Structure 1
Amino acid sequence: MPSGNSYTLIPMTSFVIEYYSNEGYADLQTLKTMINYAQFLKKQLAIEMFVPVDRDGNVLKMPHHLKSKSLYDDGDVKSDDVHDDIKSSDEEKIYNKAQEKCFFKGFEVAYNGYSVIRILASYDHSIELSFNKIDSTFQSLTDIESLAGAGFEIYLSRTALKAIGIKSRS
């Protein structure tokens, strides 16, 4: 999943030290990026930061068509997996658009119950988060900063990098 071109979520102190040491000086753009990262860390955690959701906040299931593609290295879909092209295309567009809004890469729904959603990092199943549907909160985590301090290796999406002001390496 993650490659050498991935950025991970880190605490603010580490971000300032690493960013400043790579840039070598603090110009206006560097300071703006640091402010953007601080604001990013203060955002309240929401399920849509991890997995695609619809307009009402309901978790979207990955369209079967996309699952099929991911099962085969060549991306070819086997004939028995092909759905109605129009329906698959619409589902795929909705899912992809919602996925583009996620801040963190590689999360999947492990359990979606009446009151709780449990998500796992597909690249490390020891990273497990529980989301309470009733009060829209994560168990023991409140904002992105608390997630950064939890010691998990969480990968940032292009959307997150754009919000921070970092150009994606890939």
Structure 2
Amino acid sequence: MKLISMTDFVLEQHNWSPTQVRFDNEFSNKRFRSVVSKYANFLKQPLTLGMFVPCDDDGNVLDKFIHIVDGKTSSDFKQAKSKVLFNTDIQYDKHIIYFKSKETYQRVEYNTLTDRFFFGLKTIEDCIHLHLDLAVSF
């Protein structure tokens, strides 16, 4: 699923596939409200580096070749990778995230001292224009 605007998501849910059986209107309305509410709350989440690349609990980027000497294991990496929200070809180098978007590579800068992104990216919703693929579905 692509990261899309709230308006597009509501319209998409409203036009829910007619091939799916709807037992009654009450069920459809509850499902609609539930899924739209979940997506709205999802979009309002503050962005973290761990949404783009695997990070430990302290926000440090984990490499897939983790040294056990550092106290990290491959299971730590797998757990961190499962928390990544964007299923896009992403590379991280120091404080810059590179990702493929519409056949070109774009970059997003991240300030590790303040744990903030540059260019006004504060929430997941702020990333809609980047055309990212989501690793989660609704």
Of the three residues 82, 85, 97, the one matched with 2:79 is: 97
Q: What residue identity is the alignment partner of 1:21?
A: N
Partner of 1:11: 5
Query: C-alpha displacement at 1:45, in angstroms?
Result: 0.7
Percent of aligned positions that are identical:
27
Match of 1:55 among 54, 57, 61: 57
Count how many residue pairs are aligned between Structure 1 and Structure 2. Answer: 125
The equivalent of 1:143 in structure 2 is 123
- Mapped to 1, the partners of 2:51 and 2:31 lie a distance apart of 26
Are the aligned partners of 1:121 and 1:127 in contact in 2 as well (CA < 8 Å)? yes
Contact persistence 1:63–1:91 (CA under 8 A): no
| Aligned amino acid, residue 155 of structure 1 | D
Post-superposition offset of 1:126? 2.2
How far the C-alpha of 1:93 sits from its partner, in A, is 1.4
In structure 2, what is the Cα distance between the partners aligned to 1:32 and 1:50?
Answer: 26
Measure the CA separation in 2 of the matches of 1:28 and 1:152: 31
- Quote the Cα distance in structure 1 between the aligned partners of 2:104 and 2:80: 23
1:67-146 equivalence runs, <5 A? 91-106=73-88, 107-109=90-92, 111-112=93-94, 117-122=95-100, 124-140=103-119, 141-146=121-126
The runs of at least 4 consecutive aligned structure 1 residues that moved more than 4 Å come to 23-26, 122-125
CA apart distance, 1:91: 3.0
Flag structure 1 segments of 5+ consecutive residues without an equivalent. Answer: 1-6, 65-85
Higher mean alpha-carbon deviation, 42-51 vs 90-99, is at 90-99
Q: Distance in 1 between matches of 2:76 and 2:3?
A: 27
Q: Deviations over 1:96-121 (max 9, x none)?
A: 11000111113221x21xxxx11122
How many angstroms apart in 2 are the aligned matches of 1:127 and 1:22? 33
Report the RMSD for the aligned CA atoms in angstroms.
2.4
Q: Confirm or deny that 1:20 pairs with 2:14.
A: yes
Alpha-carbon distance, 1:58 to partner: 0.5
How far, CA to CA, are the matches of 1:38 and 1:102 in structure 2? 19
Q: Return 5+ residue gaps in structure 2 as ranges.
A: 19-24
Q: Which amino acid aligns with 2:98?
A: L
Q: Which residue of 2 aligns with 1:156?
A: 134
**CA-CA distance at 1:125 after TM superposition:** 4.8
